[in-house]
Amino acid sequence: MENYTAHPTAVIDDGCQIGKGTRIWHFSHIMPGCVIGENCNIGQNVVISPEVVLGNNVKIQNNVSIYTGVTCDDDVFLGPSCVFTNVTNPRSAVNRRGQYAKTHVGKGASIGANATIVCGHDIGKFAFIGAGAVVTKNVPDYALLVGNPARQTGWMSEYGHKLQFDAQGHAVCPESEQTYQLENGVVSRTDA
């Protein structure tokens, strides 16, 4: 018996593992070998290619494409129409299956609407990728990136607020009051 919910128009191929409480909406396609965690929400018209791995509580908005080679940790948010690539030099006449570059999205990261993640680059935990950004390099934990190509413009808290560091490299999230330290270009939680 299925322990997830799927709209009748969704296509779920054989050989998928889908966790308890996950919801799959209209016209989405889940391909063979996918592993989808518990309590995920997969919006309408989402394509999840073979062997993609999603953690628990991943939220995928409408019209997202996640291609083979992508893994997402728990609590990742993928905004509307964002897309991942998996080949760095695609050509229609050249078959590059089996040469897919890997992309890993860390716990709690958010990727904004219409962002593009070029394959072979990892997104750090709790990173925040702005709408329309084109990510062409690795993204550190807690980093805020915007633009095309994406450039880092600051740091974000786990609650999604831009952090303001003082002269000693200390910052406090205005919503959660979690505390952070910036040292040698690396942000870490100090109250965890």
57-71 residues labelled b (16+ CB within 10 A) or e (exposed): bbebbbbbbbbbbbb
> What span, in angstroms and rounded, lies between the C-alpha atoms of 1 and 160?
37
The rounded average pLDDT for each run of 10 residues, N- to C-terminus, in the chain (192 residues) is 91 97 98 98 98 98 97 98 94 91 98 97 98 98 98 98 98 98 97 85
Q: Is the CB of residue 117 less than 8 Å from the CB of residue 100?
A: no
The predicted structure's pLDDT at residue 8: 97
The predicted structure's pLDDT at residue 192: 78
CATH number at residue 86: 2.160.10.10
Judge if 129 and 181 occupy the same domain. no
Judge if 6 and 36 occupy the same domain. yes
Judge if 79 and 172 occupy the same domain. no
Give ∠ CA 16-18-21 in degrees, rounded to 5.
Answer: 165
The H-or-E segment that residue 78 falls in is strand 77-78
Judge if 97 and 24 occupy the same domain. yes
Residues 6+ apart with CB under 8 A from 163: 142, 154, 155, 156, 157, 171, 173, 180, 182, 187
162-184 residues labelled b (16+ CB within 10 A) or e (exposed): ebebeeeeebbbeeeebbbebee
Judge if 183 and 91 occupy the same domain. no
The predicted structure's pLDDT at residue 75: 98
Does this model's pTM top 0.75? My answer is yes
Domain extent at residue 10: 1-156
Residues 6+ apart with CB under 8 A from 20: 3, 4, 38, 39
Judge if 36 and 123 occupy the same domain. yes
> What span, in angstroms and rounded, lies between the C-alpha atoms of 160 and 157?
5
The predicted structure's pLDDT at residue 1: 59
Size (the chain), residues: 192
Residue 157 CB-density burial (10 A; 0-12 exposed, 13-18 middle, 19+ buried): buried
